[in-house]
């Protein structure tokens, strides 16, 4: 097994996500990659989220920030120069989520910090969240990426992120600040000082030597430039959501959802559906569309055999009461 390390020299989120997706697209065997990167003042939304529901877009852009849409599911997070982000890219036979989490945990033990996993994708220290994670599958590689909150600007986080009252109520807290922690509050740590510790922990956990590759060697590739153009495009970032108005919203165990319906009143059927969700399952939007498009507005549809019945029940109760 080979280990590769790539450390970004950019804080532009579109270059960072372009390189990440290039790494995932490569057909390379017997190799695990750890990619470390920072974004400057960026709200990152999940693949299927409505950015205008999750983020104060106008304020963020006016302050020189970025909206970025990732290719994985889950909810919106805030990045700035005080945080470090990590990506593990591995072929299917070497992908090991627990091992990947252990790299983060070993690195933080160097600072006297003990951490734990919580829920579907969070890491906690002293009971407070410092890392959110998401996952996806490519043709050849699998991806696990996340953020380590070290010295993020909490005022900016609150200014740019919109947090749903239903989600706050579910977690029994009064504000977004009370749910997260900057690790710099707990130890003498910065987003720069942790990098060599993460690299060392990567080698320790995997028991192998690593090679470090220059970020700029990837940026100059035509494939990466094409990905940059895609992920920085208005269509990818905002698309249909510029004119989207959520008509139904709810918080379920599997995540939050906003649904906008286009209805043919003459025929009494739903002709189109816009779905925004922070569910980790990126295919869930297709599932909901399959359930709703073509359904009568007067009565709930039958659940197709290949649609999850619990999700269908939640959606039916949301639309038809």
Taking CA atoms, 205 is separated from 201, 213, 279, in Å, by 6, 20, 30
Which of 136-145, 180-189, 236-245, 254-263 shows the lowest per-residue confidence on average (mean pLDDT)? 236-245
pLDDT of residue 306: 80
* Residue 299 pLDDT class (50, 70, 90 cuts): confident
pTM (2 decimals)? 0.79
pLDDT of residue 196: 98
Closest Cα to residue 277, out of 239, 246, 308, 242?
246
Report phi then psi at 134, rounded to 5.
-145, 165
pLDDT of residue 172: 39
Closest Cα to residue 76, out of 175, 200, 1, 176?
176
Q: What is the mean pLDDT of residues 218-242?
A: 93
Q: Which two tokens stand for residue 271?
A: 């002709």
Contact 253, 171 (CB under 8 A): no
Average pLDDT, the chain: 90
* Residue 133 CA to its chain's centroid (Å): 7
pLDDT of residue 125: 96
pLDDT of residue 244: 64
Residue of 296 and 107 predicted with greater confidence:
107
Burial, 62: exposed, middle or buried (Cβ in 10 Å; 0-12, 13-18, 19+)?
exposed
pLDDT of residue 74: 82
pLDDT of residue 173: 38
pLDDT of residue 179: 80
Residue of 311 and 176 predicted with greater confidence:
311
Residue 1 has pLDDT above 90, yes or no: yes
Residue 207 has pLDDT above 90, yes or no: yes
Q: 162-179, pLDDT tens digit by residue?
A: 876 555 344 433 344 448
Q: 265-292, pLDDT tens digit by residue?
A: 678 888 889 899 999 989 999 999 999 9
In percent, how much of the chain has pLDDT > 70?
A: 93
pLDDT of residue 277: 93
In percent, how much of the chain has pLDDT > 90?
A: 68
């Amino acid at each position: 097994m080979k280990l590769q390390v790539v450390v970004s020299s950019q804080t532009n989120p579109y270059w960072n996500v372009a390189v990440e997706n290039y790494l995932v697209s490569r057909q390379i065997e017997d190799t695990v990659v750890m990619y470390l990167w920072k974004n400057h003042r960026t709200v990152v939304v999940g693949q299927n989220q409505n950015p205008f529901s999750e983020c104060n877009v106008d304020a963020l852009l006016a302050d020189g920030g970025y909206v970025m849409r990732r290719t994985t599911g889950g909810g919106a997070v805030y990045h700035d120069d005080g945080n470090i982000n990590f990506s593990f890219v591995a072929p299917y036979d070497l992908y090991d989520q627990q091992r990947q989490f252990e790299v983060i945990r070993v690195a933080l033990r160097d600072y006297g910090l003990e951490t734990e996993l919580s829920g579907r994708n969070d890491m906690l220290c002293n009971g407070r969240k410092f890392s959110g994670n998401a996952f996806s599958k490519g043709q050849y590689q699998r991806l696990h990426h996340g953020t380590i909150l070290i010295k993020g600007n909490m005022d900016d986080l609150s200014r740019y992120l919109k947090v749903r009252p239903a989600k706050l109520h579910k977690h029994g807290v009064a504000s977004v600040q009370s749910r997260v922690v900057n690790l710099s509050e707990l130890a003498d740590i910065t987003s720069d000082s942790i990098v060599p510790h993460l690299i060392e922990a990567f080698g320790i956990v995997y028991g192998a030597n690593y090679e470090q590759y220059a970020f700029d060697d990837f940026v100059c590739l035509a494939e990466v430039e094409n990905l940059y153009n895609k992920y920085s495009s208005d269509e990818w970032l905002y698309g249909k959501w510029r004119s989207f108005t959520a008509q139904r919203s709810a918080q379920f165990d599997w995540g939050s959802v906003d649904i906008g319906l286009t209805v043919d009143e003459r025929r009494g059927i739903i002709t189109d559906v816009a779905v925004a969700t922070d569910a980790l399952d990126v295919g869930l939007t297709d599932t909901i569309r399959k359930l709703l498009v073509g359904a009568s507005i007067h009565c709930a549809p039958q659940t197709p055999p290949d649609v999850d019945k619990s999700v269908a029940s939640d959606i039916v109760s949301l639309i038809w009461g």
